[in-house]
Structure 1
Amino acid sequence: MSILTIILNLFIPPLSVFLNKGLGKDFLINLILSLIFWLPGVIHAFYVTSER
């Protein structure tokens, strides 16, 4: 995981997920979580971007 990915995960979680997985179900889930409250979106972004 690069420094850029970590920074995006912390500040703009949906963008980070979009850049790693594209416009799909992971992006929509992260967008909803980030809109409800920031912390679940960050946790989900780290989970999604760490998968390989």
Structure 2
Amino acid sequence: MALTASDFCKFIFALILPPLGVFLEKGCNSDFLINIALTILGFIPGVIHAFYIILKY
């Protein structure tokens, strides 16, 4: 699995606003809603989940 330039942009967006990184990767689905909930509960869990989603897909 090779990282592309768009993945690096998604990582930057995920650091600033984690749900935005997930939205750019997967769109508006359950992963996006889970990430919103994790970001509300704590910023770090939201970032970790966003990185996981970007790296997985």
TM-score (norm 1): 0.90
Q: Is the 8 A contact 2:21 2:50 kept in 1?
A: yes
SS class of match (1:49): helix
How many residue pairs match? The answer is 52
Gaps of at least 5 residues in structure 2 are none
User: What is the distance in 2 between the residues matched to 1:46 and 1:28?
Assistant: 15
Alpha-carbon distance, 1:6 to partner: 1.4
Please, which runs of 5 or more residues in structure 1 have no aligned partner?
none
RMSD of equivalent CA atoms: 1.0
Deviating 4+ runs (over 2 angstroms): none
TM-score of the pair, normalised by structure 2: 0.83
Deviation of 1:3 (Å): 2.5
